[in-house]
Amino acid sequence: MLAQAVQGAAGASPIIARMSRPPAVPPALLPRALRRRAWLGLPVMVGLAAALPCALGAREPDALDSPVLRKVRDTGVIVLGHRINSVPFSYLDTNRRPVGYSIELCERVVDAVRRRLGLRELEIKRVAVTSATRLPLVANGSIDMECGVTTNTAERQKSQAFSVTTFVAASRLLTRRDSGIQSLEDLRGKVVASTIATTSIRYLASVNDSLGLGMRIVAGQDDVDAFHLVQTGQAAAFAMDDVLLRSLLAAAADRDDYSISADALSVEPYGIGLPRGDAVFKRLVDEVLVGLYRSGEIHDIYQRWFLQRVPGRGLNLNLPMSEPLRRAIARPTDDPDPQRYR
């Protein structure tokens, strides 16, 4: 187990079909307004330009304005980043296959990409990421979508984009039930754990400095590692998103020995991580998600992962949808401001 002290917070060019002359289109196939213009001897080329893509089944013209979609079209591969142990969002099932709530949402996007590009098949390359590697791999273009448990923040938006919000969590404290710890003030001078490269550990560092709590903050390499620090008495508390804490406890044999604080430290809106500067691809991703929201299908997906036995893990979080998430579904947004979700 590794824990460390923390002191502070090309694708190819598009293929263009060339014709020596535009194909003849029988007048009967033209829209009524264009047929009338043709009979009057008026120019119809502008109308034909709009009508032909629909008539001939061509892909939408803006699809190739997207660096991600161009790369996917040219390679026939889309790359998804996933976590290996972030139940129920993104984890490995008994067959070592990535599954989860975030994975299912990303796979819906993959289906839409395949249809948009007119591909019969689209290979999915799956790349395991960690808290420390997920953001750099999106920023440098190594992965096309990060399908995990990543909070959308204004700082992170400087290096990558996010889809509309897919989940709203709250960072809380996990402690031993007999510790008497209820708040950060109770942790003055104590060792506190969190997971490396997360918003929770940055929050701890910030409040530690601003309130002069004198906490010693240690970082686990992942959530399981950080929880182990509390289990073994090396830390008095573990600060992390409540849904992830519930998942850890649900799988722990000594779950009854721990409690999760009632008071939230921060609000955490999750989104699918996307490459920055690709507005066309982001619009496609958002359209898929908003479509699930408006149709109500998102509630079936949510129930499958949060209110039923989780595939491959034999646990049920029994976590009803929160009001902040219901509001984000009713009024989709990619706003990173936590106040938007309170």
In tens, the pLDDT along 61-90 reads: 467 899 999 999 999 999 999 999 999 999
For residues 236 and 294, membership in a common domain is answered with no
261 shares a domain with 223: yes
Q: How far is CA 335 from CA 103, 168, 203, 277, 284, in A?
A: 22, 12, 19, 16, 18
The pLDDT, as a whole number, for residue 29 is 41
Tokens 């958002």, residue? 286
Count CB atoms within 10 A of the CB of residue 38.
16
> Does residue 150 sit in the same domain as residue 190?
no
Q: Which domain holds residue 317?
A: 64-166+271-341
User: Same domain for 147 and 185?
Assistant: no
Same domain, 45 and 135: no
pLDDT at position 20: 35
> In the prediction, which pLDDT does 103 show?
98
- Check pLDDT > 50 for residue 229: yes
Domain count, the chain: 3
Q: Dig out the tokens for 133 from the structure.
A: 């590697």
Residues 244 and 190 placed together within one structural domain of the fold: yes
* 154 lies in the same domain as 291: yes
237 within some domain:
yes
pLDDT tens figures, 230-285: 999 999 999 999 999 999 999 999 999 999 999 999 999 999 999 999 999 999 99
Q: What is the Cα–Cα distance from 110 to 172, expressed in whole angstroms?
A: 33
Q: In whole angstroms, give the CA distance from residue 242 to residue 245.
A: 5
* 51, pLDDT greater than 70: no
Q: Kindly state whether residue 13 falls inside one of the protein's structural domains.
A: no
Asked if the structure places residue 5 within a domain, the reply is no
Do 242 and 301 sit in the same domain of this protein? no
Do 175 and 252 belong to one domain? yes
- Per residue in 116-173, pLDDT tens? 999 999 999 999 999 999 999 999 999 999 999 999 999 999 999 999 999 999 999 9
The answer to whether residue 6 sits within a structural domain is no
pLDDT of residue 314: 86
Domain assignment present for 161 = yes
The domain boundary, picked from 267, 283, 304, lies at 267
Q: Are 297 and 104 in contact (CB under 8 A)?
A: no
User: Which residue in 132, 153, 212, 203 sits closest to 173, CA to CA?
Assistant: 203
Assess whether 69 and 156 both reside in one domain: yes
Residue with token string 């929880």:
227
Last residue of a domain, one of 212, 241, 267: 267
Omega before 88 within 30 of 0, i.e. cis: yes
Q: Does residue 157 sit in the same domain as residue 220?
A: no
Mean pLDDT on 296-319: 96
Which of 10, 42, 58 terminates a domain? The answer is 58
11 in a structural domain: no
| pLDDT on residue 6 | 42
**Residue 24 confidence (pLDDT) above 70:** no
Any domain includes 206: yes
* pLDDT digits 0-9 by tens, 171-215: 999 999 999 999 999 999 999 999 999 999 999 999 999 999 999
148 in any annotated domain = yes
The CATH number for 151's domain is 3.40.190.10
| Strand positions, DSSP E, the chain | 3-6, 77-82, 85-86, 90-92, 98-99, 123-128, 145-147, 161-162, 167-176, 191-195, 216-220, 237-241, 258-260, 266-270, 273-274
Query: Does 44 share its domain with 76?
Result: no
Asked if residue 60 has pLDDT above 90, the reply is no
pLDDT score, position 63:
77
pLDDT score at 216 = 98
pLDDT at 50: 39
